[in-house]
Structure 1
């Protein structure tokens, strides 16, 4: 199946607004468990929504997997992930107050930050935990009934950087006495089936050899810096030899399905346990 992206002019920021509007405008809060996803681009799932708009969205897969458990009530999954976001940015930009603070009836809030914090937050190792504690305090105040669930980052950065980030997240979760959802090793196991099977390819058109541009052109998006974008390995045989072809580690649909599956596995027994205590 051929995909032509040249007509698409949807920025990730616009896409995030659209995703939020879609989720909240269709949310039915009565008799449904409300689940919120907070995080960066690895939560937002922006590129698959642009490239394959007819495919199930990341948040919908979580909802449907939970619905497959016959003893669980229906859920509504709201994805407020945003490409490039870090905790300080979420708070200081006003996005937390505008988009997160007033959402009604939240039951579970998954929090997955750290990758952008590491690159954007000065004095990261000291300030990231402080920012995380601040966000958790805000969430507790605004959503006192919600279970707060810190998550480790996926294997996106190198192992040393990932370990540094995840150790800080584990420490925050321990200090806050919160249950940690450790997605990192689960995603890493899935990657062993193929190191590039869970990430899409996004490669600058300017780096494609001139004699191959006719093949690449039909897969180019319309951003200011045009890239060849595919969600799978269909062009690996043609362009896989180019330096950096596999560099982008953002999840593709298969990657998000791994995260969605593990999220549902994590959450289903938690929901049962909390319901049993009521």
Structure 2
């Protein structure tokens, strides 16, 4: 239907967010010099989001499947910008993802290498990489470079854009990750979109306004079990925002999960739309 993005399902693999019905031949629209070429597919410029759970948003999708979620909000915000071409945004992200796992699991090879018509690929990794890979400081830049090499080979018309992480871990850990991202991006010759300052600024308005609450059901006092019953998913209590804060906010660890809720993803979408709109307009001048 005109004006609607493709169906997006909860993400359990790379292809969960990749539009499965992308078919046909895509046209290459040349605008000016070769470096400004864009591959138009389905009549729209294509944006791909690559990342971990802070890009995926599995819990908000489960709690509010109708969304709108990150990729749809980004499409809407770009459409609201005067003078921009139409965009389709695909979110191909995975909870727990590292760059190494993306490449070694075969997910990229099976479902990412042949995606048609990509113009912009936003890369946002680092949180899980720091926690899971050995010799993070040494190996993360290597993995980043390998991913960029694959993306350039498979999508030569796409512009690669590295993103910093959001304030998820401690400030010290975030600074370490983001420093490595900047250095790796510089070596790869790609730009960095720094989402961290905007997200941090929004958190200053309410430290828990941008994260959902996910809490072990076994830690909830018995007297509140009936209260939380509508919010139980498996062995967890999952709440999008502050609905239960007045009652359960004093429980140890109630606010410990820092994954974005829909408000958090709207911050990411808004800043991403501004960045991409500014980038396109600068190229046009």
Is the structural similarity TM-score above 0.5? Answer: yes
SS, match of residue 17 in structure 2: helix
**In structure 1, what is the equivalent of residue 171 of structure 2?**
159
* Alpha-carbon spacing, 1:204–1:263, altered in 2? closer, same or farther (3 Å): same
1:41 paired to 2:53 = yes
Secondary structure in 2 matching 1:38: strand
Deviations 1:150-171 (A, max 9, x none): 0000000001111110100010
- The alpha carbon displacement at 1:11 in A equals 7.8
| Shift of residue 92, structure 1, vs aligned partner | 0.2
Once residues 100 and 185 of structure 1 are traced to their aligned partners in structure 2, the CA distance between those partners, rounded to angstroms, is: 30
1:19 pairs with 2:31: no
Q: TM-score, normalised by structure 1?
A: 0.90
Supply the RMSD in Å over aligned alpha carbons: 1.7
Q: Could you list the runs of 5+ residues in structure 2 that have no partner in the other structure?
A: 1-8, 24-39
Residue 18 of structure 1, CA deviation: 3.6
More helix by share: 1
Shift of 1:174: 1.4
Moved over 6 A (4+): none
**Matching residue of 1:180:** 192
Match of 1:262 among 266, 271, 277: 271
Which deviations, in whole Å up to 9, do the C-alpha atoms of 1:170-224 show, x marking residues without a partner? 10111222110000111000100000000000000000001111111110013xx
Q: Indicate the structure with greater strand content.
A: 2
Please state how far the C-alpha of 1:70 moved relative to its aligned partner.
Answer: 2.4
TM-score of the superposition, structure 2-length normalised? 0.88
Higher RCO structure (Cα 8 Å, ≥6 apart): 1
Helix, strand or coil at the partner of 1:127: helix
| CA shift in 2, pair 1:31/1:271, >3 Å | farther
Which residue matches 1:230?
Answer: 239
Equivalences, count: 261
Counterparts of 1:24 and 1:262, CA distance in 2: 27
CA distance in 2, matches of 1:46, 1:87: 19
Equivalent residue, structure 2, for 1:246? 255
Residue in structure 1 matching 2:126, options 108, 114, 119: 114
* Post-superposition CA distance 1:114-142 (Å, at most 9, x none): 00001111111100000000000111111
- Displacement, 1:32? 0.7
1:24–1:78: 8 Å Cα contact kept in structure 2? Answer: no
Which digits, 9 at most, give the CA deviation of each residue in 1:57-88, with x for residues without a partner?
11000011000012011101010011111000
Structure 1 unaligned spans of 5+: 1-9
Where 1:144 maps in the other structure, the secondary structure is coil
- Structure 1 pair 26–143 and aligned structure 2 pair: CA distance change class (3 A): closer
Matched residue, 2:81: 69
